[in-house]
Amino acid sequence: MPSRELQYRVNIDTGAARAAARNVRSAIERELRLISVGQIDTRGLQTATDQARALRNELDGAADEQERLNRNNRGGRSGGGDGGGIAGGLLAGVG
Summarize pLDDT for 38-52 with one digit per residue, the tens.
Answer: 667 778 888 999 999
Does pTM top 0.75 for this prediction?
A: no
Mean per-residue pLDDT over the chain, rounded: 79
Backbone angles phi, psi at 35, to 5 degrees: -65, -45
Does residue 85 or residue 69 have the better pLDDT? 69
SS (H, E, C) 41-57: CCHHHHHHHHHHHHHHH
Whether the CB-CB separation of 77 and 83 falls below 8 Å is answered with: yes
Name residues whose C-beta falls within 8 Å of residue 75's C-beta, 6 or more positions apart in sequence: 89
